[in-house]
Amino acid sequence: MGDLVIAIVQRGAVDAYYCSITPYTVPASLPYLAFEGASKKTRPQLQQGSLVYARVALAEKHMDPELECFHATTGKAEGLGELRNGTVFDVSLGMARRLLLNKVKEEGRVGLLEELGEKGLRFEVAVGRNGRVWIDSENIKTTSMIGSALQDIDEKGLTLEEQSKLARKLIKEVT
């Protein structure tokens, strides 16, 4: 329990949204009240196709999964909720796990995002354990370049040195 995922809203029902975590699993329910400060009057209005960054609250063998967009202990969203703008990219489950590590560069051997940030590129990233990465930046060109670069690292197994070269190349293209 507690894994972060990026889910796609499929439809709304009486008291919950039903979201796709992966194309091949049953939809997960996301109760209307599973958002920070939500009430019957102030619940978020999500449309079909909306993206949400959520935590898996319940995953039992004979029950459909349930999501939540707040931390149960604090009641705060802390980055969870609807993901607006940006673009979603698919990566392998292994790559998603690597990106979620505390010390990504040391433990996961993925340094691209750190390097781009250090060089002044502004962007936001949300990584789901389900192999989806959401990226938003100042413009779509930068967003797609970062997403494509992450997919290249994943598919080609680029080393930290090769990632540094790729980061320098991306910075030149953006500026």
Per-residue model confidence as pLDDT tens digits over 68-86: 998 877 878 888 999 999 9
How far is the C-alpha of 95 from the C-alpha of 144, rounded, in Å?
18
Q: Where are the alpha helices (DSSP H) in 18-159?
A: 93-99, 112-118, 140-156
Same domain, 14 and 50: yes
53, 79 in Cβ contact below 8 A?
Answer: yes
Among the candidates 29, 52, 83, a domain finishes at 83
Q: Is the pLDDT of residue 175 over 80?
A: no
CATH number at residue 21: 2.40.50.140
Residue 99 belongs to domain spanning:
87-174
How far is the C-alpha of 156 from the C-alpha of 109, rounded, in Å?
13
Q: Is the pLDDT of residue 25 over 60?
A: yes
Confidence band for 108, pLDDT divided at 50, 70 and 90: confident
What does the pLDDT average to over 91-120?
88
42, 33 in Cβ contact below 8 A?
Answer: no
Among the candidates 18, 48, 83, a domain finishes at 83
What does the pLDDT average to over 30-50?
88
Which residue, among 74, 26, 75, 34, has the nearest Cα to 53 in the 3D structure?
34
* The pLDDT value given to residue 20: 95
* The pLDDT value given to residue 62: 86
Same domain, 94 and 168: yes
Structural domains of the chain, count: 2
* The pLDDT value given to residue 38: 81
Instruction: Enter the pTM of the model.
Output: 0.90
Per-residue model confidence as pLDDT tens digits over 9-20: 999 988 999 999
- Round the average pLDDT of the chain to a whole number and report it: 91
